[in-house]
Amino acid sequence: EIVMTQSPATLSVSPGERATLSCRASQSVRSNLAWYQQKPGQAPRLLIYGASTRATGIPARFSGSGSGTEFTLTISSLQSEDFAVYYCQQYNNWSPVFGPGTKVDIK
Amino acid sequence: QITLKESGPTLVKPTQTLTLTCTFSGFSLSTSGVGVGWIRQPPGKALEWLALIYWDDDKRYSPSLKSRLTITKDTSKNQVVLTMTNMDPVDTATYYCAHILLYYDILTGYSPGYFDYWGQGTVVTVSS
């Protein structure tokens, strides 16, 4: 089974600053990777699929990059509504596992 | 507009069987490529996928929970049902259902896809 890891576990960022989150797969998942945002008490929301394609309605400040085993989610200028937990998920095989998440909180 | 909603008991006793229903609208599980998945999240922990079912009745299960899970669909009712046997306090979690589309990669073939629409989740507590 592919194992997904994310770093850092917690990222403290000031509003307006850039946030860079990392996701790593234990083996290549090509570009078959999605990112989700989850706020407290809410269901996850799809942000990015195909490693770099924004889902419908997702602001341009969110961008994804990477392929193979190394991926990055960048939030170019953090807004108050972006403080949340972010998960990556691979869908390259029939066990679409999630990473452990990165919490982005206010510095 | 795609919507999904989970329903089921909020409290189950250890060793009991949990039955959850996902009722959806805005899509049909008879449409080629369409699927519904179940994902859970223990309090304060990460997401864990449980099971998938597709329009053609193809079913996939998390290897670690496969022996305890059954997923079925009722296309006429727009519902997907997940049963989990032998419940334990560690199964306490919020359970989500989500819409998924079968994905085709030119090199690796078909794969499950990503979860693009989610229900609000239902909290299940396992306690005697």
* 10-residue stretch averages of pLDDT, chain A, 107 residues long: 97 96 97 97 97 97 98 96 97 94 95
What local confidence, expressed as pLDDT, does residue A17 receive? 97
For the record, the structure tokens of B112 come out as 């499950």
The secondary element (H helix, E strand) that includes residue A104 is strand A102-106
What gap in Å lies between CA A8 and CA A16, rounded to an integer?
A: 19
- A94 contact residues in B (CB cutoff 8 A): 60, 111-112
Q: Does B105 have pLDDT greater than 90?
A: no
What local confidence, expressed as pLDDT, does residue B104 receive? 86
For the record, the structure tokens of B34 come out as 């369409």
% of chain B exceeding 70 in pLDDT = 100
The amino acid at A27:
Q
Size of interface A-B (CB pairs under 8 A): 69
Chain A residue closest in CA terms to B122:
A43
For the record, the structure tokens of B15 come out as 């060793």
Quick one: average pLDDT of B75-92?
98
What local confidence, expressed as pLDDT, does residue B44 receive? 96
CB contact under 8 A, B105 and A46: no
Quick one: average pLDDT of B66-77?
97
What gap in Å lies between CA B38 and CA A29, rounded to an integer?
A: 22
- A89 contact residues in B (CB cutoff 8 A): 47, 49, 114-115
What local confidence, expressed as pLDDT, does residue B43 receive? 97
Quick one: average pLDDT of B14-28?
98
